Amino acid sequence: MVSWNRSSVSSDGMDLAVFELEAPDAPADRPTAVLVHGWPDSHHLWDNVAPLLADDVRVISYDTRGYGESTRPDQVEAYRLEHLAQDLFAVIDAVSPGVPVHVIGHDWGSVQAWEAVTTPGAEDRIKSFTSVSGPNLDFLGEWAHANITRPTPGNVGRALSQVASSAYTAFFQLPVLPQAFFSAFGSEKVWTEFLHAVEGTPRENVSFAPTLREDMISGLRFYSANIREKLARPNPRPTVVPVLEVVNERDIALRPAIYDLTHTHANKLWRKNSATGHWLPYTNPTYLADTAREFIAMIENGTSSAPNTIDRARRLGPPQKLGGKLAVITGAGSGIGRETAYALAELGCEVVLADINVAGAEETATECKAKGVLSHVYDLDVSSTTAVNEFAENVRRAHGVPDIVVNNAGIALAGSALAASDAQVDRLFDINLRGVISGSRAFGKQMVERGTGGHIVNLASAAAFTPSRELGLYSASKAGVLMFCESLRAELAEHKIGVTAICPGIVHTNITSVTEIAGTDDEEGNRKRIDAFYAKRGFTPDKVARDIVKAVLANKAVVPVTPEAKFGYRSYRFFPWASRIAARQKLTK
């Protein structure tokens, strides 16, 4: 049970109920953090977050006007954002006179905190602001006008997506009807079931005020007092307060695109995206607490020591599609792995590059750093499950849990399955199949434990569904990868973790020049002929990398890359007899 000590603060004739978390064993010299809730919550929104912060910050929260134990004015005008911002300043002045505090806001708590931090002189009272699922309404209005006045298909699509997500706000501003609706259905049980249904919020250990129904109704005035005016006549103002935007990519109410213009007004802005929903304080309080604590520590100390991506989320321009993400790529020293690292770096990912060829990985890292991202190199032999597990743990400790993992490392083996040596077979399956499984399991466990989603990409091959008399063993290893991906995708879907099998066809990489060919009298000559054919084909690894990025962004399951791979994928599904006949053709002499 969370223990809060209650006090009162007067602001603009309102009596605000203020609460300080009891933490008798915590250091006395901690900085202060003020946590601000939204609709239809009270300070109890933070019951699962606050204790996780208590060792590092003195935690204060309050019931904003219209909620919980605070005054509920009847006039809509009383809920305008300028009044709510003054309430926040009054609380700060009371709990931390003369010493600026850190503010964490969710939903309307974030919206009103944005109003406060864009008020001139706010930096004298607010040292940092962590914004969760609540935009600056002036910035939002500016974004909406920009998308309407520049009606490109992309702009219109994004605008319509947000309109659909925000349709409930129009209902909330109607007279009588929304008040009647929440009078009838605003019980704690109904609200709990609704949150559980829309984004999996737990039914237990979620706290609401006894006044939940009344809060739902009085809180509707926030919408009536602010939405129409701010969207119709936005007045965006700058802020010098350091801001961290926590963007929930699965937010049912707010699309990530609406934050595109924040960087034009906040000159100390960080952004952290995750595959989470609107009610992050309920669904993953640990993740939110870790994120806020690291940001506060960074502002207090000037640097970040915890590996939770805050440092790499710094925004110096418009948000990048994968900005602030951490990506791990195996086999990153050349070929598809190298080009995938480049593609992810261009979209803002910090990259961890692993390869048994460390010198090659270092070359990849140098180019990634030139693109302005952090890059780290590890020596890794994926054929060793022990080594992969140790690598995953080292990454977690040093850099945090990755958002994207690309298990790319692989080798080829051609020729007769009967002529191959046991050592060749073991090495092939240890790298191509067991290495993929080990990497997926090690990092997949981390992603599940973190609880904020992620994506795993595994390199299969068109050989997985294109039988060939001279690629039987290689095909078997890649077919195993393909089916493993399909199965793992089903297992991890409930955790919002995507899994993709990438299936390239004929792609010219250095793998062809070192391919072992069993059962041939002219291995070197055959290898040169295969390499020359692949080179003449002209399909380069950067094209595969582009498809990998698209697969991550769209969460695709199976991606045949080259034209022959796409043909083979459909041919084997619908005309397997044709694939079997084609498989009899010899590739080598």
Position 308 scores a pLDDT of: 41
Choose among 557, 554, 545: nearest CA to 504. Answer: 545
Strand order in the sheet with 314-315: 4-11, 14-21, 58-62, 32-36, 101-106, 126-132, 243-248, 269-274, 314-315
522-550 residue pLDDT tens? 556 555 565 554 555 667 899 999 999 99
The shares of helix, strand and coil residues in the chain, as percent rounded to the nearest 5, are: 50, 15, 35
Report whether pLDDT(432) > 60.
yes
- Amino acid 513: pLDDT: 59
What's the average model confidence in pLDDT over 492-513?
82
Burial 193-229, CB ≥16 within 10 A → b, else e: eebbeebebeeeebbbbebbbbbbbbbbbbbbbbbee
φ and ψ at 402, to 5 degrees? -70, 150
Half-sphere exposure of 161 (CA within 13 A, CB side): 15
Residues carrying CATH 3.40.50.1820, the chain: 4-315
Catalytic site includes residue 534: no
Q: What is the pLDDT of residues 440-465, one digit of tens each?
A: 999 999 999 999 999 999 999 988 88
Q: Which of 287, 342, 474, 569 is catalytic?
A: 474
Q: Kindly state the average pLDDT of the residues 412-416.
A: 87
pLDDT digits (tens, 9 = 90+) for 153-210: 556 666 667 777 777 888 888 889 989 999 999 999 999 999 999 888 888 888 899 9
Give the class (CATH, top level) of 326-582: alpha beta
3-class DSSP state of 534: helix
DSSP state of 520: -
What pLDDT, in 10s, does the model give residues 227-240? 999 988 999 999 99
H runs (alpha helix) in 128-274: 137-149, 153-165, 167-172, 177-185, 188-199, 212-218, 220-232
69 confidence band (pLDDT: 50, 70, 90): very high
pLDDT tens, residue by residue, 136-154: 999 999 988 887 766 565 5
Cα separation, 442 vs 354, in Å, equals 15
Both structure tokens of 513: 């020049």
Give Cβ neighbours of residue 464 (< 8 Å, ≥ 6 apart): 475, 478, 479, 481, 482, 501, 503
Under 8 Å between Cβ of 237 and 265: yes
pLDDT at position 509: 63
Q: What is the pLDDT of residues 71-108, one digit of tens each?
A: 999 999 999 999 999 999 999 999 999 999 999 999 99
**With 90 as the cut, is the pLDDT of residue 511 above it?**
no
Please name every residue paired with 274 in a beta bridge, in sequence order, or none if there are none: 248
Extract the tokens encoding 406.
């690309």
Query: What's the farthest any 2 CA atoms get from each other in the chain?
Result: 94
For residue 539, give the 3-state DSSP assignment: coil
Residues of the chain with CATH 3.40.50.720: 326-582
How confident is the model at residue 170, as a pLDDT? Answer: 85
**What is the pLDDT, as a whole number, of residue 517?**
77
Architecture of the domain made up of 4-315: 3-Layer(aba) Sandwich (3.40)
